[in-house]
A and B are shown apart, each in its own frame.
Chain A
Amino acid sequence: MRLRLASIVVLMLVAVNGMAQSGGELRFCIHSEPKTFNPVLMSDDASETVRYLTGGVLMRLNRLTQNLQPELATSWKVSDGGKTISFQLRDGLRFSDGTAFSAEDVAFTVQQLMDPNLHSPTGDEFRSGDGKVETRVLSQNRIVVTFPAPVAGLDKLFDQVAIMSAKSPQKEMAVLGPFYVAENKAGSYLILKRNPNYWKHDSSGRQLPYLDSVRLDIQQNRDLEMLRLVRGDIDFINSVDAEYFDKISTEKASVAHDAGVSLDSEFMWFNQVPTSSLPAYKKAWFTSTNFRRAISESINREDMARIAFRGHAQPGVGPISPGNKFWFNSKLQAHPFDQKSALARMAQDGFRLQNGVLRDRDGHAVEFSLITNSGNKYRERMATMIQQDLSGIGIKLNVVTLDFPSLIERMTRTFDYEACLLGLVNNDLDPSSQMNVWLSSAENHQWNPSQKTPATAWEAEIDQLMHAQASTLDQKKRKQCVDKVQEIVWQQEPFIYLVNKDALSAVSPALQNVQPVVLRPQVYWNIDQLQLTSAVAKNRQ
C-alpha cells in the first residue's frame, strides 16, 4: 500500500518535472511596429520577424547547416531548367484556426505572391521574366508551379514564402507556423501564442514548440534593450552593437556570442551619374578607376575594424562576404593600406601633392564631401576615420550626416552628392538576390542607376555575367561567373568595400538549445526547439 502510494508520488513528481521543462514565455524586442501581417506584402524587419515565428513554409533553409529541409512539403523537384517546381505536401494538416490545409492554399499563396498589382518584394525575387505564373493542383497534396522563365535558386527562395489560407475567415491571421498572433497592442507589444495545430513533433513524440508564448516588445532604444537583457527582462538580443558586446561579455561571458563574419557589408561609392550637377573636373575624378583605387588604398580598413567595430569586423573585400563560404572568391583579398602606392596611382592621372594638398592637373585642390545617414554612430566613426586617412594624401574630406529621406533623395532623385557611405544588409546567400544592384539598368545600381546602355565596358561585362549566372542551374558555371564579377568589382572599385561586420548576439543563460549563427534570424532560427529553464518558465507562466 505504502509502496503504491510512494510510486504514485514518484510518478507524479516525474510528470510535474517533465511538464516544467517546457512552457513559459520567451521575451525579446523588435525595433519598430510591424506594418502588416500579410506575408506577401511584408518588407520591414519587424513584420518579417512575425512572419518567421508564425508562418509555415514549404521548405526551410536550416540556418546552421545552410541546407534546405522539408517542412510543409515532404519532397520537391525542380525541373525544366529551373522553370518548374513540383511539391508533395504533408497530409492532414490544419491552420491555427482549424481550417484544413491543402494544395489549394499553396496555389492561392503563389498567385497572391506573383500578382503584378501587389508588388510583393518576396514575389519580385521570383520574377525572372514576363508572363503569368501557372499553378496546377494535381491532388489534395500535390502541386506544380511553372514560371515563365528560369528562376535561379528557385527552391531556396521558398524559405521566404509563408503559406496563407485560401478559405479561412481569418485570412492572413490563420497560420501554419509554431505560433499565431494572439494580442497586438499597437505601438507597444505583441503576444504570440503556441499554435495548437502545429504539425511538428520532436523525436520523443512531444508536440513542438516547447515554449508557450512569445512576447515581442517594441523598443527602439538599444541602450534600454541592453539594460533589459542584463536585468533578465528579455531573453536575448538578436543583433547586438559592437560597443555593447564587450560590455556584455565582461559582465557575463556566456551571454555574448560572436558567430563570425556576417553577410553584411559597409561600403562607400562616388557619384558617377553623368547628368549630375557636379562640376566637370569632379566628374572626371570620380569616373577614373585610378582615382577610386587610390582612395581605396588610402583607407586603413584594419584600423576601422579594430576601432570603430571594436575588433568585431573584418576588412571588406568585395560584394560577397567571406562569410558566404561557397560564393566568396577566395583568391581575392582586401586592398592593402598603402598610401605611397595610392599617390603613385594618383600621379598616373596627373594628380600632384603640393604643400600637403593634393591637386589635379588643372590645379584644383582635391576636396569633396561624403554623405552618410545620421543616427548610425558606426558610420559616423568610419567617415571620420576616412577623413583622417585621406588627409594623409592631401585630400580634404567633408563629412555630412543627413537624415535618411534627404539622403535617399540625393542618392536616387537629384544625384546632388559626391560620395556616399552606406551599408547593405544581406539575408540571402545566393548572388541572384543582388541582381538589382549589379545590372546597369537597375535602380539600385547606386553609383549610376537606370542606365539605358552600360556606361563602361566593365559594367557591360558584369551585366553579361549576371545574366549568365541567373540562367543556368549548373553550380560550377554559376560560381565561375560570380567569381569573375567579384574580380571585376575588385579591380574597378565602383563600391569601395570597407568592412564586413561580425554577427553578434547576446543570449541569457535561461534560454536553452540556442545555437547562434550568421544567417538571420541569428538566435531564434530554431524557435520551435528553444526552451526556457524550468525556474524561469515557471516564473513566466
Chain B
Amino acid sequence: MSGLAKCAVKVLLTVLLGGFLGATLVRMAPGFGVDEEELDTRLSHESIQSLRRTDAADSNLAAFYFHYLGRIVRGDLGTSRTLQRPVSQLLAERFPETLKSVGLGLALGWALGLPLAIFVVMTRTWYVDLFASMLGGILLCIPAAVLALLFVLMQAPGRLVLGLIVFPKVFRYSRNLLAQSSDLPHILTARAKGLGNARVLLWHILPVTAPQLLALAGISLSIAFAAAIPVEVLCDLPGIGQLAWKAALERDLALLVNLTMIVTLITVIANSASDLVGHAFRTVEP
C-alpha cells in the first residue's frame, strides 16, 4: 500500500476507535437516559413511562454503534435527541461559526506568541523575558469567563478571547524551544563567527526547531478547539463548542459521538500533517 493510503487507513481506524470510546464514556457516565422533562409535574404516568422508554432506546452501546455506522455510509449522521433535528444539519449550521473563531484564535495566538518568543530569545535580556512571561502568566491566570466579560464590556468581539487563551501556551513553548536551540554549539559558533541576529535566526535556529514548532502548531489546534467550548458558551456564539457543551449536559449520544469523531479527525490530520512536514525539515537539516 502506498504511504498515503496507509495514512488514510490509520486516520480512519483512529477516528472509528475515537467514536466508539467516546460513546462508551458517555454511556457509562451517570445520568445517561434521564431527561429533565420527566420532572414536569403536568405529565401523566403513561407520558413519563413513554419518555423513559425513548430515553433508554440507546442503552445498548454495540447496537447503537452498529446502526450508527450503517447510517453513516448513507450520509445520515443521526438525530439529536435534545434539539430534535438531524445532526448533519446542526453541524452544517454551526461549523462555520467555530471555524471562524478557531481560525481567528489561532492566528491571533501565533501572531502574538511566536514573534514575542523570538524577540525574547534574540534580545536575551532578563527583564524583557520577565515582562513577556508575566504577560503570558496574567492571561493564563484570568478565568476565561472574566476575559469574556471584559471583552463584552469593552464591546470587542468575543472570539478574540480564544486568541488570548492560545497565546500564552504558544508563547511559552516556543520561547523554551527557541531558547534551547539557540544554545546549541553550532549556533554559538555561528554567532562567534559574526553572523547577524536575523541570519542566525532564519537559517540556523528556526530550521532546527521547525519539527517541534510544527508539532506545537498541531496541538495548538487541539488547544483551540478545547478552548472554543467555554468561550462559545460564555459569549453565546452558536458554534460547535456550544453544541458540544449542551450535548454533554444532556447526554445526547448521537451528537457527542459525531462531535468526538470530528474532533478526532481534525486532531489526527493536523498532527499527521505537522509530522510529515517536520520530517521533511529534518531531512534537510544543515
Direct contact of A and B (CB under 8 A): yes
A276 close to B (CB within 8 Å): no
Interface bits B29-52 vs A (CB < 8 Å: 1, else 0): 011101111111111111110110
Cα(A437)–Cα(B84), bound, Å: 28
Residues of B within 8 A of A413 (CB): 34
Interface bits A284-324 vs B (CB < 8 Å: 1, else 0): 00000000000000000000000000000000000000000
A116 and B31 contacting across the interface, CB-CB below 8 Å: no
Residues of B within 8 A of A538 (CB): none
Q: Which of A215-234 contact B (CB under 8 A)?
A: 218-221, 223-224, 227
Residues of B within 8 A of A405 (CB): 30-32, 34, 36, 249-251
A442 close to B (CB within 8 Å): yes
B31 and A124 contacting across the interface, CB-CB below 8 Å: no
Residues of A within 8 A of B62 (CB): none
What are 26 A-B contacts with C-beta separation under 8 Å? A35-B82, A43-B37, A119-B50, A119-B51, A121-B37, A121-B42, A124-B42, A124-B43, A187-B93, A187-B242, A221-B233, A223-B149, A224-B149, A224-B235, A224-B236, A403-B31, A403-B249, A404-B31, A405-B30, A405-B34, A406-B31, A409-B30, A410-B30, A436-B43, A441-B45, A443-B45
A218 and B47 contacting across the interface, CB-CB below 8 Å: no
Cα(A187)–Cα(B90), bound, Å: 9
A186 close to B (CB within 8 Å): yes
Chain B min CB distance to A263 (Å): 12
Cα(A124)–Cα(B42), bound, Å: 6
Chain B min CB distance to A193 (Å): 22
**Chain A: interface residue total (CB-CB under 8 A):** 42
Question: B39 contacts which of A119, A221, A406, A444 (Cβ < 8 Å)?
Answer: A444
Residues of A within 8 A of B36 (CB): 404-405, 408
A188 close to B (CB within 8 Å): yes
Chain A min CB distance to B56 (Å): 10
Chain A min CB distance to B140 (Å): 22
Cα(A443)–Cα(B84), bound, Å: 25
B17 close to A (CB within 8 Å): no
Cα(A116)–Cα(B50), bound, Å: 10
Question: B94 contacts which of A122, A187, A221 (Cβ < 8 Å)?
Answer: A187
Q: A227-B153, A437-B41, A443-B38 are in contact. Are A187 and B233 (CB under 8 A)?
A: no
Cα(A332)–Cα(B152), bound, Å: 47
**B residues in contact (CB < 8 Å) with A:** 30-32, 34-48, 50-51, 82-85, 90, 93-94, 149, 152-153, 233-236, 238, 242-243, 249-251
Select from chain A the residue with minimum beta-carbon distance to B149: A223
Q: A35-B83, A121-B47 are in contact. Are A43 and B40 (CB under 8 A)?
A: yes
A424 close to B (CB within 8 Å): yes
B152 and A224 contacting across the interface, CB-CB below 8 Å: yes
Cα(A441)–Cα(B46), bound, Å: 13
Select from chain B the residue with minimum beta-carbon distance to A225: B236
Residues of B within 8 A of A391 (CB): none
Chain B min CB distance to A411 (Å): 8
B41 and A408 contacting across the interface, CB-CB below 8 Å: no
Interface bits A121-150 vs B (CB < 8 Å: 1, else 0): 110110100000000000000000000000
Residues of A within 8 A of B44 (CB): 119, 124, 127, 436
A404 and B249 contacting across the interface, CB-CB below 8 Å: yes
Cα(A405)–Cα(B27), bound, Å: 13
Residues of A within 8 A of B251 (CB): 405
Residues of B within 8 A of A407 (CB): 31
Question: A443 contacts which of B32, B48, B50 (Cβ < 8 Å)?
Answer: B48
Interface bits A175-191 vs B (CB < 8 Å: 1, else 0): 00000000000111000
Chain A min CB distance to B87 (Å): 13
A186 and B238 contacting across the interface, CB-CB below 8 Å: yes
Question: A408 contacts which of B31, B48, B82, B94 (Cβ < 8 Å)?
Answer: B31
Cα(A434)–Cα(B153), bound, Å: 43
Chain B min CB distance to A233 (Å): 11
A221 and B236 contacting across the interface, CB-CB below 8 Å: yes
Q: A219-B236, A221-B234, A223-B149 are in contact. Are A408 and B39 (CB under 8 A)?
A: yes
Select from chain B the residue with minimum beta-carbon distance to A127: B44
Cα(A424)–Cα(B39), bound, Å: 10
